[in-house]
Amino acid sequence: MQTLDVIKKRRSVRSFTDKAVEENKLEKLVEAAIWAPSGGNRQPWNVVIVQPKEDIEQIKAVSPGILGNPGALIVLCADRTKAGGNEEAAGSGIAIMDIAIAAQNICLEATELGLGSCMVASFNPKAVIELLDLPERFVPELVVSLGYPQNMPDAPPRRTVKETVIRWIKPG
């Protein structure tokens, strides 16, 4: 698929079949995340991959944004020690941008692999830290839920290029 086709084909999928997500596909998704750009090439992300139903259920219970029964979760965490070089910078705008970009890479590669995906920011970070027993330096920022789509939702309406461009300063 052409890049723009993949970009347009990606939907936020919130209902999944029972089919398990293959480990080699999950590895490819992490690889996609790894190749995201990051501020100062700090790569301030790490991930936890969750596959067992009961573990996913526990995370769902503290994550209003996770819908349906995903076959896997990738929890993207900011590493306080890498984000901006100091502890406080983990939640900084740049680290958050870096994590979001890595998550989009995951969702686009998932589309290419026939998987449905959904980025979720609505979860209880403290509860997720506890459930995953995360080392202190990691802060969960986004969860990507993954699985084979039960049905593909229609694309929500988008604005046109004209509506999106405030001003186009052209040569001459």
Query: Of residues 9-38, which lie at the interface with a copy of itself (CB under 8 A)?
Result: 10, 12, 20, 23, 27-28, 30-37
Site for a copy of itself in 98-137 (CB under 8 A): 98-101, 103-105, 107-109, 111-112, 119, 121, 132-135
Smallest CA-to-CA distance from 57 within 48, 49, 66 is with 66
End-to-end CA distance of the chain: 36
Per CB under 8 A, does 146 bind a copy of itself? Answer: no
Q: Per CB under 8 A, which of residues 151..170 are in contact with a copy of itself?
A: 156-161, 164-170
Nearest distance from residue 106's CB to a copy of itself, in Å?
10
Shortest Å, Cβ 124 to a copy of itself: 15
The count of residues interacting with a copy of itself (CB under 8 A) is 76
Cα 78–chain centre separation: 12
d(CA 168, CA 32): 32
User: Which residue reads 């100062």 in tokens?
Assistant: 40
Residues 35-64 that bind a copy of itself (CB under 8 A): 35-37, 39, 41, 43, 45-53, 55
Structure tokens at 117: 């995906």
Q: Give the bridge partners for 117, in sequence order.
A: 12, 146
Which lies closer to a copy of itself via its Cβ, residue 112 or residue 150? 112
Between CA 125 and CA 131, with CA 126 as vertex, the angle to 5 degrees is 95
CB of 113 to a copy of itself, least distance (A): 8
